[in-house]
Amino acid sequence: MLKLNVKNETSRLRAVVLGTAISNGPTPSLSEAYDPKSALHIKAGTYPVEADMVKEMEAVANVFKKYDVTVYRPELIENCNQIFARDIAFVIDDVFVKANILPDREEELDAIQYIVDKVDPAKVIRPPEEVHIEGGDVMLWNDYIFVGTYREEDYADYIVARTNIQGVAFLEKTFPHKKVKSFNLRKSQTNPRDNALHLDCCFQPIGTNKAILHKEGFLEEEEYEWLLNYFGKENCFIITKEEMFNMNSNVFSISEEVVISEKNFTRLNTWLRENGITVEEVPYAEIAKQEGLLRCSTMPLIRD
């Protein structure tokens, strides 16, 4: 049996699901692109190729090995993009939540069923159909669950809006002992520099009291200010629009002292080291072209 435990984003990691880029399928057509960044690269002919992405994910797997983390990979589905393990499920405390993802990604959930089978069935839940929620929008921080959402009336028009207000309400009801705080995110189907696909595209806690933040990712300035004040300005690393586009907030913590980051994030990695954090640099720029990075492709099962 797997005894799940995830209470925040930075406690020492013991077990994780890491997606896979093997048999990723052909480059999608423009009409198949889920997000504006993938669309940009499909148009430009720079969409990532499988061999490069496999290499990038192996680099992450090697870091996990170095820190003695148990790594689960999804079962292989031919010609299917299974990189982003965070979208399809997430763990809160000791509960495994299956996400209601875009319908044509349902088989990705089947590919991790062998892991779910190791969990006490009473601790596995699936929200009702009208509840939309993806792991990239769910950020655990001890007593808090921070949730990215899109509260505007045109929610249904946006394929890049992944967590609805019913999703926020579901978390409040299911985890009454937690403080659920939601953030209205800026969405754009066409401009990746104006699109916070998930909360982890514009915010992530680091260490014990720090955070990476991107102001323009939030539709309501006071919600951004709330985070800035909660962590303290001096503890926040504010990323630019270009850094947000390159996914600088989407790094991944192995512990409060160790962060896996993209090797080109020079300014961020310098700041992390100046703040006493060990940075394990990996190449991840190809995977980033699909508007997802290190946090998106990992789904923690057990932290201390």
Report which secondary-structure segment, H or E, holds 300: strand 298-303
Q: Over pLDDT 90: what percentage of the chain?
A: 80
Q: What is the mean pLDDT of residues 37-45?
A: 87
Instruction: Assess whether pLDDT exceeds 90 at residue 175.
Output: yes
Residue 154: predicted pLDDT = 84
Q: What is the mean pLDDT of residues 59-84?
A: 96
Q: How confident is the model at residue 85 (pLDDT cuts 50, 70, 90)?
A: very high
Residue 189: predicted pLDDT = 77
Q: Which of 61, 17, 90 is nearest to 280 (CA)?
A: 61
Structure confidence by residue, pLDDT tens digits, 123-166: 999 999 999 999 999 999 999 999 999 998 888 777 777 889 99
Structure confidence by residue, pLDDT tens digits, 220-250: 999 999 999 999 999 999 999 999 999 999 9
Residue 109: predicted pLDDT = 93
Q: What is the mean pLDDT of residues 267-287?
A: 97
Structure confidence by residue, pLDDT tens digits, 94-103: 999 999 877 7
Residue 29: predicted pLDDT = 86
Quickly count: other Cβ atoms within 10 Å of residue 40's Cβ: 19
The tokens describing 5, both together, are 């435990």
Instruction: Assess whether pLDDT exceeds 90 at residue 67.
Output: yes
Instruction: Assess whether pLDDT exceeds 80 at residue 56.
Output: yes
CA angle 144, 117, 85 (to 5 degrees): 55
d(CA 47, CA 49) in angstroms, rounded, equals: 7
40 within 8 A of 86, measured Cβ to Cβ: no
Instruction: Assess whether pLDDT exceeds 80 at residue 203.
Output: yes
Residue 290: predicted pLDDT = 86
Mean pLDDT of the chain: 94
